[in-house]
Amino acid sequence: MSTTNSPTFKHHELMNPGHLGCPGCGATIAMKLALQALGENTMVVIPACCWGVIAGPYPQSALNVPVLQTAFATAGAAASGLRAALDIRGESDTTVLTWAGDGGTFDIGFQSLSGAVERNEDCIFVCYDNEAYMNTGVQRSSATPYGMRTTTTPAGQWKRTGKKNILEAMAAHRLPYAATASIGYAEDLIRKFEKAKTIRGGSRFLHVLAPCPTGWRIESEMTVKIARLAVQTNVFPLYEVDGGVKYTLNFKGERGVVDYLAVQGRFKHLSASDFARIQEMVDNEWKLLLKKAAPEFPH
Ligand SMILES: Cc1ncc(C[n+]2csc(CCOP(=O)(O)OP(=O)(O)O)c2C)c(N)n1
Ligand code: SF4
Ligand SMILES: [Mg+2]
């Protein structure tokens, strides 16, 4: 995989300056890159989440593509309806892009997403993952990692269970294409969105790590660096799953998790033994992934 972070843009800019995201918001970078890959013939479905605010109040919009805002739990259903309406109008070339946070994907939106993917709806479903309910003040979700302090982990406490493996859950639907991506690896992210666009007639799912300076308690200029460190430490591996079964790893991280954890305020309460426990969890997940990807990925 190319490790550069300087993609060549093919489309004109589809995201305007003056959006309502916080400075350094990873979710805004994710959208900018995704639309560069997908082009202007795209319609975006957004449930309740930070992006419901970032895009701006109608008739203003930070996006030069149509947006359908929908209720928190319903992105999969709304996208299915939009797809059907476009097809009836003979606009089958239009890409339907669902753009939900981790709460709207892993938790409350899971049933409508699962239903849509089980029907193999011809849409791209994206989770931009900032690992908590950020829009309402950093509450814990099932995407929140072990060790993170949130506003719903009581004083002095932090999350004691691990992050749900959403890609595995989606792969279990045997959908045509699923992949992880990080805003820290822009070329890889754009390639995956381009691939997802070309696979038509079924569901595609992309899980994009999008650091949130506000909730992760990092400086705004650290967003991309942290997104890269997540991959370089194997905390957030980059890989693809074709047809729900064929795993391809894109990158092998060589760094210890402490490089990623110790630079973020959300983990600053953790001790050396906590770091060791998280390293063990990450190593175990990585070994499982290697087994699934073998023999394509040498190890
Ligand atoms: C049914 C319902 N419950 C709660 C809310 C309040 N709410 C709006 S956005 C949000 C958090 C969304 O979290 P996530 O999907 O992770 O996106 P993020 O805000 O982190 O970008 C919540 C709880 C709502 N809009 N609808
Ligand atoms: S709270 Fe986080 S995800 Fe939401 S706009 Fe701010 S930086 Fe982005
Ligand atoms: Mg979130």
Give the number of whichever ligand sits closest to the CA of residue 136. Answer: 1
> CA–CA separation, 290 vs 263, rounded Å?
27
pLDDT tens-digit profile of 113-137? 999 999 999 999 999 999 999 999 9
- 92 to each of 107, 112, 246, 248, 254, how far by Cα in Å? 30, 22, 28, 29, 43
Per-residue confidence band for 6, with pLDDT thresholds at 50, 70 and 90: low
Nearest CA to ligand 2 atom 6: 22
Task: Say how many Å lie between the CA of residue 118 and the centre of ligand 1.
Answer: 24
Q: What is the mean pLDDT of the chain?
A: 95
The predicted structure's pLDDT at residue 227:
98
Backbone angles phi, psi at 157, to 5 degrees: -110, 165
Q: Is the CB of 261 under 6 A from ligand 1?
A: no
Strand partners, 241: 178, 247
Task: Say how many Å lie between the CA of residue 103 and the centre of ligand 1.
Answer: 6
pLDDT tens-digit profile of 139-174? 999 999 999 999 998 877 899 999 999 999 999 999
pTM listed for this prediction:
0.96
